[in-house]
Amino acid sequence: MIRARDLYDYFLEFNEKRYPDLLSDIDSQSAFGVHFAEQSVEINENLQKIQEQIEQDKRDKIEEINNAKEKYEELMKKVNDLKCECESNIYYPYQKCDRCTIIKEADNIKVNIYECPIPSERRSALAVMFELQMPNEIRCYRDILWQFVNRPKPNPSNNMHEWLRTRPHQSKLGQYFKGSHNCKVKLVSTTKSITESHYSTARQIKSTPLEDYFYDNGLQVQISPTKINEFQDECRTLTPELTDSNYKDLQFSIDNTEFTQNRVIAELSKCSLKLKSTEFVEFGSFRSGHRLQWWNLLSILELDSLSMDEESVVILITHALLQYGPVTKDRKSLICSWCPESHQKLLEDHFVDELIMRLERHLKDCECNWQNELMLVIITVIVMRVFTICNSTRKDQMTNLVLKCRKTAEKWIQLISKNIQNPSLPDSDKINALRGKMVMIGITYLLTYSIYTDSSNILVLTNQDVISLLTIATTIHDNNILNKKTIHMSVFMRNLMRYSEYLLLSIHPIISKLLEESSYESLNEFCAIHWAVVRTKGTMNGKWKKRNKDIYDGWYDGEYESSKISIDCLRGRFFVNKMTIGFLPDRITSDELFRRIFGQHIFEVQAAESEDSYITKHGYHTDGNVHYEFTYDNGYYGSRQLIVYEQYVKTNDKFQLIPPSCFETELPDILVSNYSHWWNENRKILQFRPIHFQDSNFLSDISYVLFSKGYIMMCNTENKQYLINQSSSFFQNLFKRYFIRLDDEPYVYMLRENDIIHIHLSRLGIAFKYNCRNKIITSREYSDMYIDEDQWFGTLTGLKSGLLLSPIAIIKQNNSHYLCRKLIVPFGQVQAIKKSNDDHQTVTIERKSSSTSFIHEYFVFILNDRLRILQPTDSPTGWLYLALLHAMTSHSLPDQYMGMTGMERCFQLLHSAGCWSAQPYDSITRNILLQIATISPKVNFYPEHLTCMIKIDWNENSLPYSMQHFGYYLIVKKLVETSEEWNFMYPSSISNDEIQKFFQSKKYNEKLLAKLYWDYRDSYNPTARLSAQMEKEICCTNSTKSYQPVWNSCSYSTNYSPLRLLDHLYDSGDVNLKDSEELRCFPLSRWLKAEYELKNIWI
């Protein structure tokens, strides 16, 4: 404030002086330049040299003119002795005679004019010389003033001519110019030089007098013009603009400290619905009266009458406190000569005590609430302003408050950084918002360092302060780079950032001195914190050097092993091998291995030690103990493979991520597709961990471990379990005998625990136990049942899938009469293959082509030995799947177990209530229905638009033709239509799937299919026929009806009379009736005779 008051007094005194400034009237008698040049011996000597050179140039020019005149007179003497002969030469009319040629040569003798390069008037000449030989200090000062005046347009365009780019001034004066050609203020003129105008043409010697060859300097003595802003425009520029729609109408209240409370109340009708009327009035009245601003602030802090989380409120308070205020011209009337009336309250200790108490309360309330970063900005601005002005008796208390603000900001940045590093935060918009908060809080942190620029400060800058300062500066820089929405930063934020950069520049001489005294130890410690490579190794002892001797230059260069490090202390830039912080390149984030483990997580990375490798800036998981390094390894034939390392800071362990493709042929599918694989080279183990990096137990949940000896142990059980090799004879014997009937080999794995073998089917989610002592395999889901060695049970003949379970009580022969066996059958595409006419078809269940959503499904059927049938346990899906199995395994002879054919049992199930539903079927049920419908052969007419021939496409090499029932399609369609009658009650029902497309296709002609069913009906057993109701519907559909036209009344219909057969019958006369037996077609010529006219009708 002392400096601000001194500047005001200086310019106030300056405005009262009569002499012009450096930017106007440079050639006036009272101009500074003229006066300076008059007193300068060097300038006067150089001016004398120029003037002497001008005189010499003039003498040379006169001599040149005299020589030209002598030559002209000699030529004219020759002309007097000659006679013109041009008219007599008729052969060469265009050829001049000697006399005319000499006259033309004499007329062409011309001499250029001479323009003086410097004004003849001494005052103007001195002004020009001052511009040429002005001291650099004055030139820089004037350039700064000129740029300050031209702030709105730093490079204004003008049509003026530069002296040093004009002939002859460039050649004559250029050697005396001492300034830089890049300076902003140049010697210019609004008029052109005579030498460059159309008057500069050479003059004929015969008609031009001597004085017409000499001209004074034609350029005006001026400098680059300035465009001064109006005072109102300057005020508008220096006053922040409110952009929030809730506060925009109160812009007038922030412009000055005039009393505007009445106007604010009058403007209440414009108050936004989102803003309370009391807050509207409080905001508009804050600056009413410059002496009341600090009182109003104290009231706001006490009553919380303004929303501190609004940027407009921050702008209001910041602008009011940082503005010097209305200036009192008479310093003697002030309590303190340098403190204006607006801030004199801060010189009262009791008022400052009240402020400190409320500021501490607010700071304590928001200590852990980092969501409201603007509150911290307000508190910090108030604290720093009070510290600057208050009496020395309150400096210690304010210093403690400054340190509390700094500590709070540092704590908030750590908390937000942990949230950003959280792998479960995938929303990029939220991350960008958090980065914006970190930038704002970091800038607030830097504002506290302005305490070191205050002359009354007693706080000493330490090495730890420098490390913290560099950490926050790099945090601001890194988050500005990583935040994709930085371009939308508000004007207030940009101004605050510029101010923080100015503070860093102001205190850098202190930092530079401290770094040199400590041999740059602070930079080594900072690198150990900021650079993850050093963090994983411990300490750093780099060689550092200041890039530039300028005390305000913030660049420092160092070396660590083979890496070159550069730090910009002013802007927080940290480079390793010319690379700063950033995101992983697309070639890494799009890699299949990266996406499998890390998904969409966004890492902040730095350059690692090796080329084209990156290491995460932050640590992850427990206490930030783990860093990830990403690099590419050049493989054979130019292929490049992503390599991911996991480095532990505390233990120095290093794991490498192994691609799952390395284990696809060696391990069960569940160990390949459900886990990520991390190899520890030091301990020679491979850990099976969760597949997703975002898992909270990503490091600790180790399900399996592969040891160097080749065996895999399960870790999350009380007793040790070891994986049995799939290529072993034990595994192959059990698998091929039993478990191949349920699933493929990659989805079956076995774990040994002492004498017990745990057998898991990963896709179906079922398990069994094999006891090595009694050789019995029991079920986990049905603990009282075991796998029967004899898998034949008298029905579903030819089915290669399905596992038969028998009760353990049968072995013990206890109550075997009341026990039932169970059959487990996996879901899939049921396929039948018939190799010859004599053999029964082989039925398999294809699971590879099944939808991934159905691949885990299986069904359990009960063998009811009393009723001699298989009973499903799930309705309607289980009933329909059992019907499908019976249909596909059907034969013309009845089954041994059921005493009926599979087709008959299939129709029994399809007619039963268990298969019918009053609501739409689910996806898996509709898939089963589609498989049943496709058993019927495809039928259609050939060609389709005619009905002369029927085409039947039987399912060859599948079921016997007699088992491919025409009614399967019809009954399935009836089932689907019945289930969809109440579709409107189930909005989430499935209506556009494969079966719907199947019915809409033209592969099956339904009417023809119904006809063929009726033709073959008697060949089917009564049990294998459609229901009586469906047969009745088929008969009604196939019956012929006479054509009955239907007339609908509509707005555009026309009333035509009905057409009858007898209409217009007698229009051509009588009609002759003849017997058809009398008709003779041949020869055709008889059709032209009268008796065969069309009016005859033959009966």
DSSP 48-98: HHHHHHHHHHHHHHHHHHHHHHHHHHHHHHHHHT----TTT--S-TT---H
What is the model's pLDDT at position 978? 92
Residue with tokens 């079921």: 959
In angstroms, the Cα distances linking 581 to 360, 565, 860, 1011 are: 37, 13, 58, 77
Distance CA 129, CA 142 (A): 16
Distance CA 387, CA 359 (A): 13
Sign of CA dihedral 391, 396, 401, 402: positive
What is the model's pLDDT at position 1052? 46
What is the model's pLDDT at position 1067? 62
pLDDT in tens, 640-664: 789 999 998 888 889 999 999 999 8
Residue 1071, pLDDT above cutoff 70:
no
Q: Which of 19-23, 399-403, 468-472, 559-563 bottoms out in mean pLDDT, i.e. has the lowest?
A: 19-23
HEC string of 145-182 equals HHHHHCCCCCCCCCCCEEHHHCCCHHHHHHHHCCCCCC
Residue 967, pLDDT above cutoff 80:
yes
Confidence band of 989 (pLDDT split at 50, 70, 90) = low
**Inter-axis angle of helices 1006-1016 and 1028-1038, nearest 10:** 120
Distance CA 486, CA 479 (A): 9
Residue 738, pLDDT above cutoff 50:
yes
Residue 476, pLDDT above cutoff 70:
yes
Q: Count the Cβ atoms, other than its own, within 10 Å of residue 867.
A: 9
Residue 850, pLDDT above cutoff 80:
no
pLDDT in tens, 1017-1027: 988 889 999 99
Q: Count the Cβ atoms, other than its own, within 10 Å of residue 762.
A: 19
Distance CA 320, CA 313 (A): 11
The average pLDDT across 922-941 equals 93
Confidence band of 1051 (pLDDT split at 50, 70, 90) = very low
Question: Can you read off the two tokens belonging to residue 382?
Answer: 């108030």
Q: Count the Cβ atoms, other than its own, within 10 Å of residue 975.
A: 22
Residue 586, pLDDT above cutoff 70:
yes
One-character DSSP codes across 635-704: -GGG-EEEEEEEEETTT--EEEEEPGGGGTTTS-HHHHHSEEEEEETTTTEEEEEES-TT-TTTTT---E
Burial label for 653, CB within 10 Å (0-12, 13-18, 19+), is middle
**Contact between residue 845 and residue 828 where contact means Cβ atoms under 8 Å apart:** yes
Residues 6+ apart with CB under 8 A from 650: 625
Q: How far out from the chain centre does Cα 77 lie?
A: 92
The CB-side HSE value for 889 (13 A sphere, CA atoms) comes to: 24
One-character DSSP codes across 867-893: TTEEEESSTTHHHHHHHHHHHHT--SS
Residue 1078, pLDDT above cutoff 90:
no
Confidence band of 1045 (pLDDT split at 50, 70, 90) = low
| φ and ψ of 1082, to 5 deg | -110, 150
**Contact between residue 967 and residue 1025 where contact means Cβ atoms under 8 Å apart:** yes
Q: Count the Cβ atoms, other than its own, within 10 Å of residue 742.
A: 23
Question: Can you read off the two tokens belonging to residue 694?
Answer: 């975002």
In angstroms, the Cα distances linking 807 to 290, 789, 819, 861 are: 96, 12, 7, 14
The average pLDDT across 228-245 equals 84
Sign of CA dihedral 442, 448, 452, 454: positive
Distance CA 701, CA 172 (A): 86
The total number of residues shown for the chain amounts to: 1099
Residue 1044, pLDDT above cutoff 60:
no
Distance CA 307, CA 244 (A): 13
Distance CA 1068, CA 1061 (A): 15
Could you tell me where the beta strands, DSSP code E, fall in 891-999?
A: 938-941, 950-953
What is the model's pLDDT at position 1084? 60
What integer best gives the mean pLDDT of the chain? 86
Instruction: Give percent above pLDDT 90 in the chain.
Output: 39
Helix (H, G, I), strand (E, B) or coil at 515: helix
pLDDT in tens, 793-835: 999 999 999 999 999 887 666 555 456 899 999 999 999 998 7
Residue with more model confidence, 1091 or 917: 917
Residue 719, pLDDT above cutoff 90:
no
Burial label for 127, CB within 10 Å (0-12, 13-18, 19+), is buried
What is the model's pLDDT at position 1040? 45
Q: Which of 89-93, 110-114, 162-166, 930-934 bottoms out in mean pLDDT, i.e. has the lowest?
A: 89-93
pLDDT in tens, 109-129: 888 888 888 888 899 999 999
Look at phi and psi of residue 217 and say left if phi exceeds 0, alpha if psi is from -120 to 50, else beta.
Answer: beta
Confidence band of 1053 (pLDDT split at 50, 70, 90) = very low
pLDDT in tens, 318-347: 999 988 878 877 777 677 777 888 888 899
Distance CA 266, CA 278 (A): 13
Residue 964, pLDDT above cutoff 80:
yes
What is the model's pLDDT at position 1050? 47
Tell me the pTM: 0.67
**Inter-axis angle of helices 122-132 and 32-39, nearest 10:** 90
Distance CA 621, CA 464 (A): 27
Residue 441, pLDDT above cutoff 90:
yes
What is the model's pLDDT at position 1049? 47
In angstroms, the Cα distances linking 749 to 678, 716, 728, 760 are: 21, 17, 12, 5
**Inter-axis angle of helices 428-447 and 373-389, nearest 10:** 10
**Contact between residue 531 and residue 542 where contact means Cβ atoms under 8 Å apart:** no
Element (H, E) at 441: helix 428-447
